[in-house]
Amino acid sequence: MTPPTTPVKPLSEERLEAVRKIGDQFAIEGEFVLGEEISSGHINSTYLATYARDGEERRRYILQRINANVFHDPLAVMRNVECVTHHINWKVLRVKRDAGGQTLSLYPDKTGRFYVRGPKGGIWRCYNFFEGCQTYDVVENTRQAYEAGHAFGAFQDLVSDLPPAEIVETIPDFHHTLKRHETLQAAVAEDRAGRKASVTGELEFIRANESVLGRLLEMQASGELPLRITHNDTKINNVLFDGETDEAVCVIDLDTVMPGLSLYDFGDLVRTTTNPAAEDASSVKHVEMRMGFFEPLVEGYLKSAGDVLIEAEVAMLAFSGRLISLELGMRFLTDHLNGDQYFRVHREGQNLDRARTQLKLAERIEQKEGEMSSFVRKVARSR
């Protein structure tokens, strides 16, 4: 197997010097010898810094500037990341007795803080770099589906005893589906881009599903579902895979870690893992919920998280994918009606295509929800 590589591009002399000065503020051993920009990220500015020790041994680190336009309180983000990574590392070493790479590790600056302020502003951090690992943008096979489920299930297990009150809600009401629906209705009423007449079918579908939008919120309010620490961005490209074995090594991108429901994370896994169609496909004819990918996803997730989930959470696993697909469909449709102000678009109607894809997936999941639930029960009983 060809060793995995991280997509990088060279830096200008000015940027290279800036990255070197940032790296020098962290407690990194050795001498800075190389800096490159990692080109695969879309939010934060990320660099791969190489340091040499004793003139021979080289070690690489991730230097990253948090995007303050997306995360308005980057210090709150850093407090969350620090809390979660420290807890997981403590639990892996003390409870699990396993020194394997279960999470990212933050490196302190030379005063002991886990961030530095850049010379031109901004909050920077330093992570360890996992050599020999790679990420995937699309699930290519059922083994990867299993490993992704297992990785995010392991994350849920590792943070299950971390009190949600320890974590700051950096994006309020992120998965509040009823408020997302209210925002959509406001966009329909305003119709600022003059697009309402072209989305009557989508609005009718959402109207027909209004009764399920608050289902998980109601269960949380009644105490049936526990508040947990959740990842909130459970796409497969946020899992590092071993380049040789293709086993999941580590969950990354912890910036959206917040208090929430485990079902939001699993629902997003279903949404992004089981559908073969592109998120912005111009036609919904290929949108599907593939049982062949859902089954290993469930098996992997319950293998690692099954001991901490309660019965009500397990019972709603199949439904969660439908709800999150509806939520994303509403968000994309809202942005389309507002003139594409939030999600980046590269062509006319891209947000509408995204909305249609998600709403069709919600329909497909509803059609198979009984079969999905039966499989979940089967796996849960066999544990």
Residue 383: the pLDDT is 82
For 311-338, the pLDDT digits (tens) are 999 999 999 999 999 999 999 999 999 9
DSSP symbol at 180: H
Which token pair is 158? 């590792």
CB 269 within 8 A of CB 301: yes
d(CA 126, CA 136): 23
For 114-166, the pLDDT digits (tens) are 999 998 889 999 999 999 998 888 899 999 999 999 999 999 999 999 999 99
d(CA 148, CA 277): 19
Decide: residue 110, CB within 10 A, 0-12 exposed, 13-18 middle, 19+ buried: exposed
Which token pair is 315? 């019972």
For 193-207, the pLDDT digits (tens) are 999 999 999 999 999
DSSP symbol at 3: P
- Identify residue 144 by its one-letter amino acid code: Q
Q: Which residues contact 44 (CB under 8 A, 6 or more apart)?
A: 64, 65, 66, 67, 255
Going by C-alpha positions, the residue among 364, 325, 353 that lies closest to residue 198 is: 353
| Whole-number Cα distances in Å, 188 to 41, 326, 349 | 33, 17, 16
Q: Which residues contact 87 (CB under 8 A, 6 or more apart)?
A: 158, 159, 162
Q: What homologous superfamily is domain 8-131 in, according to CATH?
A: Phosphorylase Kinase; domain 1 (3.30.200.20)
Give the side-chain half-sphere CA count within 13 A for 162.
27
Number of C-beta neighbours around residue 219 at 10 A? 17
Q: Quick check: do 8-131 and 142-382 share a fold?
A: no
Residue 43: the pLDDT is 72
For 64-80, the pLDDT digits (tens) are 999 888 788 999 999 99
Q: SS3 for 117?
A: strand
pTM reported for the whole predicted model: 0.90
DSSP symbol at 26: B
d(CA 239, CA 233): 10
CA 8: distance to chain centroid?
Answer: 22
| Domain boundaries, given as residue ranges, for the chain | 8-131, 142-382
What phi, psi does 35 have (nearest 5°)? -135, 135
For 92-121, the pLDDT digits (tens) are 876 654 444 467 889 999 889 999 999 888
* Mean per-residue pLDDT, 199-227: 98
d(CA 228, CA 241): 26
Dump the DSSP string for 141-175. Answer: SHHHHHHHHHHHHHHHHHTTTS-GGGS--SSTTTT
The CATH number of the structural domain formed by 142-382 is 3.90.1200.10
